[in-house]
Amino acid sequence: MTCLRLALAQINPVVGDLPGNAAKIVREMRGAKKKGADIVAFPELALTGYPPEDLVLKPQFISDNITGILRISKAVPDIVSIVGFINSGPGGQVYNAAAVMAAGKIIDVYHKMLLPNYGVFDEVRYFAPGERIPVYRMNNVLFGVNICEDIWHAEGPAKWQAGAGAGVIININASPYEIGKPRTRKTLIRQQATDNSVVVAYLNTVGGQDELVFDGNSMVCDHEGKMIAQGKPFAEDLIVIDIDTARTGRFRKEKGLSAAGKRTGREIVPVRIPAAGCDSRKPLKTIPLSAGPVREEEVYAALRLGTKDYITKNGFRGAAIGLSGGIDSSLVAAVAADAIGRDRVTGVFMPSKFTSRASSEDAYALAANLGIRIIELPIRQLLAGYKKDLAEVFRGLPEDTTEENLQARIRGNLLMALSNKFGWLVLTTGNKSEMSVGYATLYGDMAGGFAVIKDVPKTLVYDVCKWRNLAAGRPLIPERVLVKEPTAELRRNQKDSDSLPPYDVLDPILRAYIEDEKTFEEIIGMGFDTGTVRKVVTLVDRSEYKRRQSPPGVKITPRAFGRDRRFPITNRYRSF
């Protein structure tokens, strides 16, 4: 065998859908076989979906998943398949595992050795670490298999398997997206390939799962770190590539790396895989590599996929959005229309006496541009009714934020009534800047089922909207929305800047405090006003109780609220 035809099945599984995921895996196995592949690999925990979280604690779930992997192994016996699943062991231990299947049976099982326990990951809660290091021989090709975190460490399974003679490393993943992560992965995989003089095939899952979005972006790098194949971003894909194993072998021999066990002190388990050769096949055509999307396009794609999968995988008929004529609801509506189709999206315009004509015009213009339905439900009379019923209790007290919040809560009630009646998911429109400092109303504009942009800072909201208009070739989002001053329009002449620093000041402070974990003094040292920093930090710390009651939303930054950043609500610590 002078070449290895490898297929990477970048699929979108559904957590817990064992029959559906198994059927998809078998279809892709057959598709890879038709393309002449010797090996087809599937993502980390492809059978169960990732992350299965506390489903792992259910013995029946583990048993059903093992039954599923055994059935898969018999489905397509004439192609080597690597499939992520959960394996069980003695003493009730379970493992994040990869089944290596051939000839209608499971030949071997690899257990993930390095378990991540940071950020959104808590695999130590569920899995035991693997200890065994197999290297597989298929004819004269030696290859290793490992899982996700295993490849992120220089001293780890990839090095040990390469040191034992493996010329190809297949790493299966469920690596969630955040801004800059695809580029970080490319750097990592190139470094691992170069350091170990091996071909590294990095396979990532794709799809939305609650707050997480998996971006695909699978890749193959040769033994010199050159990328030779890549998968689509934010879409399912089957990447098939011919790997010149003879060339890699010659390179390793010249460097004195071909002898098994020469560079590792770890015990290696050799496993032979039955397979036919591929020398008589015609080589595949080379597919040009793309530069990849720009930042704003990447973020928009993550929001679109996360929204689409949350709505469709949970069986909602459509989506409803409270349209205000502002930038945030405009972006959420555009994302929703692109995610599930304009015919399934309804905008709801709920004017009060404080709503400007410009807001009305912009909300209707946006709906027309997107081709979505718009409903108008004025709230003047409803607000008057609330005030009348509360008049005796509030006698002698001036109007304040109570009456402002009543408007937001009326709107929340109307949106949820539409949700109940028509089976629509209400998409909230608060951004990360607002959620950080609590500039949102509980049971009002926070009411809903999915918070599309809760991890998108306000300044980035503007950038993404500008990109969407550029991509459309026209002002899909009305130009006035991009330039008018942000306002909640809950009182006369209200502006966000009445309560908050300008967003181009607020967002860098929030990033320093939340994502970069800088101290109060360090943030001031960046050139920000002491009083402004103190106000912002205080608002962030005091708003945890609100965020804890907010719906899930797409994670796109390195430190999203909820999964990444978990602070106690009752908390008297102050950093200044």
Enter the tokens of residue 562: 């909820």
> H helices within 438-529, ranges in order?
458-472, 479-483, 503-510, 520-525
3-state secondary structure 40-96: EECCCCCCCCCCCHHHHHCHHHHHHHHHHHHHHHHHCCCCEEEEEEEEECHHHCEEE
Enter the tokens of residue 493: 């002449």
User: In angstroms, how far is CA 44 from the centroid of its own chain?
Assistant: 15
**Count of CA atoms in the C-beta half-sphere (13 A) of 514:** 31
Tell me the C-alpha distance between 187 and 369, whole Å: 40
User: In angstroms, how far is CA 378 from the centroid of its own chain?
Assistant: 37
Beta carbons of 147 and 174 less than 8 angstroms apart: no
Tell me the C-alpha distance between 347 and 324, whole Å: 9
Beta carbons of 250 and 2 less than 8 angstroms apart: no
DSSP class of 549: T
Instruction: Give the number of other CB atoms < 10 A from CB of residue 213.
Output: 26
Residue 112 designated active-site: yes
User: Phi, psi (5° rounding) for residue 485?
Assistant: -70, 135
Q: Which of 3, 24, 28, 44 is catalytic?
A: 44
Tell me the C-alpha distance between 39 and 492, whole Å: 66
Q: Are strands 237-243 and 4-10 parallel, antiparallel or unpaired?
A: antiparallel
Tell me the C-alpha distance between 465 and 297, whole Å: 10
3-state secondary structure 305-367: HHHHHHHHHCCCCEEEEEECCCHHHHHHHHHHHHHHCHHHEEEEECCCCCCCHHHHHHHHHHH
Beta carbons of 81 and 103 less than 8 angstroms apart: no
Enter the tokens of residue 389: 């019923």
Q: Which of 3, 24, 28, 112 is catalytic?
A: 112
Residue 44 designated active-site: yes
Residue 392 designated active-site: no
Instruction: Give the number of other CB atoms < 10 A from CB of residue 6.
Output: 26
Beta carbons of 56 and 81 less than 8 angstroms apart: no
Which long-range CB contacts under 8 A does 561-566 form with residues at least 24 apart? 561/432, 561/435, 561/436, 561/454, 561/455, 562/211, 563/119, 563/120, 563/211, 563/212, 564/119, 564/120, 565/514
Enter the tokens of residue 53: 């979280």
State how far the alpha carbon of 483 is from the alpha carbons of 327, 429, 480, 508, in Å. Answer: 9, 18, 5, 20
Q: Which of 148, 149, 186, 434 is catalytic?
A: 148
Residues marked as catalytic: 44, 112, 148
